[in-house]
Amino acid sequence: MPERVWLKRKPAPSAAFLCGFSVQYVLDPNLPPLLEVTDNDSDETKTARKKHSGHRNITDEQHAFIRHVTADLLLLTADVTEIPSPAFKIASFFHKTGLIWHDLGEFELVSTCFEKATDLTSKIEISAIFGDEERKLLLDLSIARSRTAWEVQDRNLAVNLLNRSKFVLFGCAANYKQLANQYMIFGKTVLSKNETSSVNEALKLMNEALDLCEKGLRIVKRESETLGLK
């Protein structure tokens, strides 16, 4: 009787790996099809595989939907230890997906994405965040939520969210400039309506922008940052 040979089974791919691969495959149309047609396949199998692996032309709405579903799947890996800063990586995915929905005018879905991103990042103390990308995400997310609130005519919430953004500037001149620009955009939008009652609101927003520029100028480290704030 031949000696039995035991083969060591490779460990199954982790959920983090599978989700990451799914994201890459879904969002990169240049990747080869997962199902290759072989000579051993029957005609029916070949037809089915070609249909499945055909050119993936998707609309912006479909792209956003796929990203949204993928982001929800990635939530399953939020506590995976082998991924550095998993909460922020998933929050970033929700944030970018929300931006796509925003461009499509689907503001309820935008809010859903941003709320999930905010929930993920809010579990970490701001004082414990040192990475530039993580810090930038906090500001980008706060400003994005403000823009969405403005689009749905909730100006009070929009301005409140901008005001909260001041707590995540982290002494970075570029962040001061970014937030100041958003105040200025809101101010110009209000002023463009040529309503007497809106002048004071517009001036208040523009003064906030000016104040941020002045504060940013005090902490600049490079000449290029000074020119941007001026």
CA torsion, points 175, 179, 180, 182, in degrees to nearest 10? 140
121 with 181, same domain? Answer: no
DSSP 18-39: HHHHHHHHHH-TTSPPSS---T
pTM, rounded to two decimals:
0.70
pLDDT digits (tens, 9 = 90+) for 73-112: 888 876 666 666 788 989 999 999 999 999 999 999 999 9
95 with 204, same domain? Answer: no
Instruction: Let me know if residue 99 belongs to a domain.
Output: yes
Residue/partner pairs of 144-149 with CB below 8 Å, 24 or more apart: 144/95, 144/98, 144/99, 144/102, 144/114, 145/114, 145/118, 146/182, 147/102, 147/182, 148/98, 148/102, 148/107, 148/110, 148/111, 148/114
226 with 202, same domain? Answer: yes
Q: Into how many domains does the chain fold? A: 2
pLDDT digits (tens, 9 = 90+) for 170-225: 989 899 999 999 999 999 999 998 777 788 999 999 999 999 999 888 887 655 55
pLDDT digits (tens, 9 = 90+) for 132-161: 889 999 999 999 999 999 999 999 999 999
Instruction: Let me know if residue 103 belongs to a domain.
Output: yes
Give the model's pLDDT for residue 195. 75
174 with 147, same domain? Answer: no
What gap in Å lies between CA 137 and CA 92, rounded to an integer? Answer: 7
* Owning domain of residue 180: 169-230
Instruction: Let me know if residue 201 belongs to a domain.
Output: yes
104 with 148, same domain? Answer: yes
69 with 121, same domain? Answer: yes
Of the residues 114, 129, 154, the one at which a domain ends: 154
Instruction: Let me know if residue 40 belongs to a domain.
Output: no
